[in-house]
Structure 1
Amino acid sequence: MSDFQQQALQLAGQQDTPEWLADVRTTGARQWLKTPWPTRKTEHWKYTPLAPLQRSGFQEWAGHTADWQNQIEFLELDATRLVFVNGHFDAEASSAELPPEIVRFGNANAEQQAVIAEHLGQIVDSEQHLFAALSNAWASEEGVLLHVPANAVLRKPLYIVHVSTPTGTPATANQRVLAVLGTGAQASVLEHFVSTDETQDGFVNSLTEVSLGDNAHLHHYRINLEEEHLLHVGGVHANLARSAQLRGFTIAQGSRLKRIDYQVNHRGEGAHLDLQGIYLPRNNQFVDYHTNVQHCVPHCTTNEVFRGIISDSAHAVFNGRIHIHQDAQKTLAELSNKNLLTSPKAEVDTKPELEIYADDVKCAHGATVSQLNKTALYYLQSRGIGRDEAQVMLSFGFINELLQEVAEPSVRDYLGARLAKLFSVDETLLKHVQLEQ
């Protein structure tokens, strides 16, 4: 057992947790203990450096801080907002009233507790996902349940903001979301991970579980734009029943350690997944996306597209896997990963995988790694555009197609402003690139 695993169990013992979560916590702790700590010889972690976790010595929970509001920019949308600061609920920054479909674990009534007990920790395979087991061991009253009953529509999107602030000593926050949609239900969920501008000293472990009933529809957004010193390991795990649809969008900047897993299981015929992702590491940052889509039954479809811009001396990892089981006939699945290196020191490891055991399927996968097109760069410069601006235009054009397909306008507007700041250009230039696409 590693030092971090021992520290993690000690942290679990410091929590005040509802008794009805005891079984989930006990099972998670047992799984966490018996799972070997990943090394560079562990296939799914061979490119992901966990040394920052080992060195930092996280021995306490992060506390709630008050001086953060002026540094955080929320998305401007009509939504039910829940704000957590270092894992602690902030009532003042959150919506005053919550609809009946949304509740914090600590405020759940008997019926809602039953829903949580039925689904929490059951969608994710904690034997295969080490930090999911840790999230189970750390389950607390600060989790969020979204439960939309059959044939109902969540009137406003659920907007969950996870704010990280420095606490002076290495500290930990655990963030948990459970979304359960009944037959024919519809909802939108936005998870926004953000931090103040100061150098961060914390570790965030986040896990979202999604259960979609027959013909249920969910739009899910995951935005990771924290300061580059924060350590973050997260995951989204979903089960899709018959004709269910999950449309996901994720974007992440890098950090000292950023690992995000997507595990989606097609459990019912006719289920559909549309997953798009963007990663933008720079400086000496690191980001790792691992996706695993299981086609267990016939007539399901998957469309997965990820694009990355890796700058300076940054390192990105993408591992995308689609597994077509023997009974999953008539499957349609496509996986694409494209990467743009804007520096000779930038690095990416990409591994798209198709594992097919059915014979009546239509599948495709591919990956590319390229640099800025010198001819296009020269053309723009010959038209009076500076080299730096030309690089930005070409880089932004590389990901703009995915940004324009984001269904929520407020997300597009927010990311446009943030990318303009990230690329250190006037926002009007990015709007010009959008018009040219």
Structure 2
Amino acid sequence: MMSEFQELAIAFAAEQQSPAWLADFRRDAAQQWLNRAWPTRKTEAWQYTSLLPLQKAGVSGWSVAKQPADIDFVEVDATRLVFVDGIFSTELSDELPAEIVRFKDANSAQQDLINRYLGKIVDTERHVFSSLANAWVDDGVLVAVPKSVQLQKPVYVVHVSTSGVTPTVANQRLLVVTETGSALTVIEHFITTDEQQNGFVNSLSEIHVADNARVEHYRINLEQEGLIHIGGVHIDLHRSAHFRGFTIAQGSRLKRIDYQVNHRGEGASLDLQGIYLPRNNQVVDYHTNVQHMVPHCTSSEVFRGIIADSSRAVFNGRIYIHPHAQKTLAELSNKNLLTSAKAEIDTKPELEIYADDVRCAHGATVSQLNATALYYLQSRGVSRQEAEVMLSFGFINELLEQIQSSSVQDYLLPRIARLFGRDNELLQQIHHD
């Protein structure tokens, strides 16, 4: 059954000034969006997360161009592109090299490349909001890396959401296309201004990792809790390709992030790590789906969650081993720490194997702060608050230490300290001990 929001969203699409060469793509996506059944708690992929906050948000349309006063950028030597409420900011962005172009500025060859890959990596049947992202696409970022080229600077794409009297929507799109033997680092950063937020962000990233290519990807979601965010990262890995990803998210009224990884070439490898830190009454929902379609591929997923106050987290990690995917090595670990009696986690690791010569493992744990460890630290003069920080931070520190970008690592540490409401010097000391 079609929802009121589905009809409203298509009305928003009609208000956009999109490039003519995207018209057919947008029209087909809009029809697909309208034909989809609206997810409910009876929909398996949404059984633990309600879309009521989105339906009740009262979004009224697109934002107008704004210029935020202060933006909390990562201090990194990178090519920076900034979108404010979905609108590109020339003033805040760098001059773009030949490998990077906005959809609206694409020449005919770049348009052909976008048409070849846009909407083709994501499975729109499985991910309902990708159809909306396609129907709303009027701008975005294409990163096309030629054969054997390694981009010297990371690509830093910043999406800033601002406050407004009425809630607005923003569509954010990234397409990465690598050629054989190329390499790059991408940082996607989703942030908000300090004011109370009330809008909706729909974001979609598609990444084609060609034979022997390497992509390092960061996704930072530290938005203010009033913002609704539904996003996805969809990756195709070809022969001997490698994708290393790190994602971190606070919760919000509704935050849902999907990772879809398709092993399409032998020898491909995936290393994906994630941290989620909901608090107050926030919700954060991570779904990962790794498809091993061919032999001799590896995947490693490690996710950690610290769930505080009356917040709730969802983690669903699925690994699917197809019949021809012999010699697969796949591992999934999800560990959760509840720091409040009212905090909640729904975790569901899934492993489906249809090949007989594989090595696979998956597991999930849920625990609380160790009372004995708390007592031990307090007996040695550490306050209870400091002891809770030390134990909580130690729970995620293993993943933070493995972040390869020192700029991202340096950015996250003090902000995690503020999130815990504690002294950053204590976290810095723990991190370096």
Distance 1:52 1:17 in 2: 28
Asked whether the equivalents of residues 186 and 217 of structure 2 are also in contact (C-alpha less than 8 Å), the reply is yes
CA contact (8 A) 1:194 1:226 kept: yes
Counterpart residue identity of residue 170, structure 1: P
Partner of 2:18: 17
**Alpha carbons 1:62, 1:202 under 8 Å: kept:** no
- C-alpha displacement of 1:35: 0.8
Query: 1:310-389 alignment to 2 at 5 Å?
Result: 310-389=307-386
Secondary structure in structure 2 of the residue aligned to 1:100: coil
1:69 correspondence with 2:69: yes
Moved over 3 A (4+): none
Q: Which one-letter code corresponds to 1:394 in the other structure? A: L
For 2:122, what is the secondary structure of its paired residue?
Answer: coil
Partner of 1:118: 116
- Is this contact kept in 2: 1:164–1:194, CA < 8 A? yes
Normalising by structure 1, report the TM-score. 0.98
Q: CA deviation at 1:409?
A: 0.1
1:63–1:167: 8 Å Cα contact kept in structure 2?
no
Equivalence for 1:105: 103
Please say if residues 28 and 126 of structure 1, whose CA atoms lie closer than 8 Å, have aligned partners that are also in contact: no
**Structure 2 match to 1:136:** 134
TM-fit CA distance, 1:64: 2.1
Look up the equivalent residue of 1:93 and give its one-letter code: L
**1:128 deviation in Å?**
1.1
Quote the offset at 1:23 in angstroms: 2.2
| Whole-Å separation in 2 of the counterparts to 1:202 and 1:63 | 13
- Helix, strand or coil at the partner of 1:330: coil
Would the aligned equivalents of 1:206 and 1:233 in 2 still touch at CA under 8 Å? yes
The amino acid that maps onto 1:246 is F
- 1:91 aligned to 2:90? yes
Asked if the contact 1:4/1:57 (under 8 Å) is kept, the reply is no
Contact kept, 8 Å, 2:211 with 2:241, in 1: the verdict is: yes
Partner Cα distance (1:41, 1:315) in 2: 19
1:308 aligns with 2:305: yes
Is 1:273 aligned to 2:270, yes or no? Answer: yes
Between stretches 411-420 and 54-63, larger displacement belongs to 54-63
Cα deviation code 1:280-324 (max 9, x no counterpart): 000000000000000000000000000000000000000000000
Deviations 1:256-292, CA, capped at 9 Å, x for gaps: 0000000000000000000000000000000000000
Aligned residue identity for 1:148: V
Q: For 2:432 and 2:60, locate their aligned partners in 1 and report how far apart those are by CA, in whole Å.
A: 50
In 2, the alpha carbon distance for the partners of 1:328 and 1:59 equals 47
Displacement of 1:229: 0.5
Give the Cα–Cα distance (whole angstroms) in 2 for the partners of residues 268 and 139 of structure 1.
29
* SS at 2:150 equivalent: coil
Report how far residue 435 of structure 1 moved: 2.6
Of 133, 145, 148 in structure 2, the residue corresponding to residue 148 of structure 1 is 145
Q: Which amino acid aligns with 2:158?
A: V
Partner of 1:176: 173
Distance 1:347 1:62 in 2: 34
2:421 corresponds to 1:431: no
Deviation at 1:69, TM superposition (A): 2.8
- Secondary structure (helix, strand or coil) at the match of 2:260 reads strand
Which 5+ residue runs of structure 2 have no aligned equivalent? none
Please state whether the residue corresponding to 1:200 is helix, strand or coil: coil
Task: Give the corresponding residue for 1:42.
Answer: 43
Q: 213, 220, 225: which is aligned to 2:222? A: 225
Unaligned runs of 5+ in 1: none
The answer to whether the 8 A contact 1:223-1:252 is kept is: yes
Question: What is the aligned partner in structure 2 of residue 127 from structure 1?
Answer: 125
Measured after TM superposition, the shift of residue 127 of structure 1 is 1.1
Aligned partners of 2:379, 2:207: CA distance in 1, in Å? Answer: 51
For 1:205, the aligned partner's letter is N
Match of 1:208 in 2: 205
- d(CA) in 2 for partners of 1:397, 1:184: 37
**2:146 and 2:182 in contact (8 A); partners too:** yes
Shift of 1:59: 2.8
Deviations along 1:25-50, one digit per CA (max 9) or x if unpaired, are 11211110111001110010011110
Aligned residue identity for 1:156: K
CA contact (8 A) 1:235 1:261 kept: yes
CA distance in 2, matches of 1:294, 1:22: 31
Q: Which residue of 2 aligns with 1:264?
A: 261
Take 1:58 and 1:355, find their aligned partners in 2: how far apart are those partners? 39
Contact 1:311 1:342 in 2 (8 A): yes
Partner SS, residue 69 of structure 1? coil
Q: How far 1:211 sits from its partner (Å)?
A: 0.5
8 A Cα contact 1:161 1:191, kept in partner = yes
Residues 8 and 59, structure 1, Cα contact 8 Å, conserved in 2: no
Between the aligned partners of 1:374 and 1:27, the Cα distance in structure 2 is: 56
Matched residue SS, 1:334? strand
**2:406 partner amino acid:** P
Distance (Å, rounded) in 2 between the aligned partners of 1:248 and 1:364: 20
Contact 2:60 2:166 in 1 (8 A): no
Aligned residue number for residue 189 of structure 1 = 186
Question: Contact 1:238–1:264 at 8 Å: present in 2 too?
Answer: yes
Corresponding residue of 2:29: 28
C-alpha distance in 1, partners of 2:131/2:299?
A: 27
Question: Is the contact made by 1:150 and 1:181 (CA closer than 8 Å) also made in structure 2?
Answer: yes
The secondary structure found in structure 1 opposite 2:30 is helix
The CA deviation at 1:56 is 1.5
Equivalent residue letter for 2:55: Q
Q: Aligned AA for 1:38?
A: P
Query: How well do the aligned residues superpose, as a CA RMSD in angstroms?
Result: 0.7
